[in-house]
Amino acid sequence: MFEGLPASIQVVEVGPRDGLQNEAATISTADKFRLIEALAQAGLGQIEITSFVSPKWIPQLADGPDLARQVMQTPSLAKVQTSALVPNIKGYEGAKEAGLKQINLFMSASESHSKRNINKSIAEALATMAEVAAVAKADGKRVRCYVSTVFACPYEGKIAPQASLDICKKLLAMGVDEISLGDTIGAATPNQVVKLIELLAVEVPLNKLALHFHDTRGTALANVVAGIESGITIFDASVGGLGGCPYAPGASGNLATEDLVYMLNGMGIETGIDLEKLTDAGRLAQEILGRQLPGRYLKACLAERERAQTIGERK
């Protein structure tokens, strides 16, 4: 059982973008910055900090340009690979101006989600991705691209794995460095993960693939294990399990970063992340949002800390 596990896994923190894009409350740029700093202190080496999308579509991240500029001018954050979500050339120019070295494109494997999320068909989205990737690569940027709804779409139901294969091949031909496959509505089960990766592995180098699970139906960690067993070593996660997709009704939080790191620690897989400090970042996210987040480890660890403090006070 679990033979040949990788020595290490790369965790990509998407909370400040995928999480905060979905919050009803307005969060100040200063609080977003504090959260990013706390995540960096916990050892997260890759953090998606914001989006350069239309503020009419995602008002929660309208401060993206200001926040990114601030992050890029902070020496203590220089060691972190910071990135932002970019839908088109306009977004790319903003990200470039802020000094980001990595941009994250995004599109969908389902036509209906694509139309609702970016107002484009899959073919139109691919044309935009090609345009932006060409400019970004010529500028020496690292380019990641999300493919959403690879297992299921909130409007169309199950999506055939072949759709992801066709898209991945086109993205690789554009020079995209990494493709993150998204279970946007958290519907996948481990057998589907294995099947998808088996199909992709024939034509896509596994080290160029990441998996992005939402935990809507409680299958995210099981899907990570299936992904690891299939040879994937990059996983997206979100502090405290923040998140969702504004254009995917019912999509609840992403896989919580603390839950992922706790499990990988237990399996003897290195992440470079300090779980105690990550819990501090999760607690900060709860303070900023004024509510409890869905992450299980976070809840358990904060309860344990409280218990230990009460016992300490009694002594």
> Which residues, 13 to 42, sit near Mg ion by CB under 5 A?
18
Q: Is the torsion defined by CA of 6, 103, 213, 241 positive or negative?
A: positive
Residue 245 interacts with ligand HMG (CB under 6 A): yes or no: yes
Residue 241 binds which one of Mg ion, ligand HMG, none, with CB within 5 to 8 A depending on kind?
A: none
Show the tokens assigned to 311.
């016992």
Partner interacting with residue 90 (select from Mg ion, ligand HMG, none; CB below 5-8 Å by kind): ligand HMG
DSSP string, 274-299: -HHHHHHHHHHHHHHHTS--S-HHHH
> Does 106 participate in binding ligand HMG (rule CB under 6 A)?
yes
- Told to judge if 245 belongs to the known catalytic residues of this protein, a careful annotator would answer yes
Residue 91 interacts with ligand HMG (CB under 6 A): yes or no: yes
Min separation Cβ 76 and Mg ion, Å: 27
Give the closest residue to 104 by CA, choosing from 95, 112, 113: 95
Judged by beta carbon distances under 5 to 8 A according to partner kind, the member of ligand HMG, Mg ion, none in contact with residue 57 is: ligand HMG
Q: Determine if 223 is a binding residue for ligand HMG (CB under 6 A).
A: no
Q: Which of 26, 82, 18, 29 is nearest to 53 (CA)?
A: 18
Instruction: Find the shortest distance in angstroms from Cβ 71 to Mg ion.
Output: 20
Q: Does 67 bind ligand HMG (CB under 6 A)?
A: no
Whole-angstrom CA distances from 311 to 54, 177, 315 are: 50, 51, 6
Least distance from Mg ion to the Cβ atom of residue 51, Å:
11
- Residue 200's φ and ψ, nearest 5 degrees, are -65, -35
When binding is defined by CB under 6 A, the residue of 33, 146, 151, 235 that contacts ligand HMG is: 146
CB burial string 26-36: b at 16+ within 10 A, e below:
ebeeebbbbbb
Active site (catalytic) residues:
245
Binding site for ligand HMG (CB under 6 A): 18, 21, 51-54, 56-58, 87-88, 90-91, 106, 117-119, 146, 148, 182, 184, 212, 245-247
